Amino acid sequence: MTFYISLSEAARLTGRSKATLSQAIKEGRLSFVERTKQGYKLDPAEVTRVYPIPSANEQDSQGETQDRTAETALLRE
């Protein structure tokens, strides 16, 4: 049985926006299985080939950096 995901699911999986993924499809960097009335059907392996899933450490450090930046901006004010 083959399993496909939607553009929204791919965005959540990779931490990218739907617009970024749509642009990659339009530019031919990301292929899709089928386009239906409901949207694109994407192969998860293809999605993660183009946009590797960030590890938990990478996600934590990105969030921490954003928090520190916001905190620094508040302190400067």
Residue 60 lies in a domain: yes
Residue 21 lies in a domain: yes
Q: How many domains does the chain have?
A: 1
**Cα distance between residue 8 and residue 41, in whole Å:** 10
Instruction: Inform me whether the pLDDT recorded for 25 exceeds 80.
Output: yes
Residue 63 lies in a domain: yes
- The region of weakest confidence among 3-7, 9-13, 28-32, 57-61 is 57-61
User: Mean pLDDT over residues 31-45, rounded?
Assistant: 93
**Cα distance between residue 58 and residue 55, in whole Å:** 5
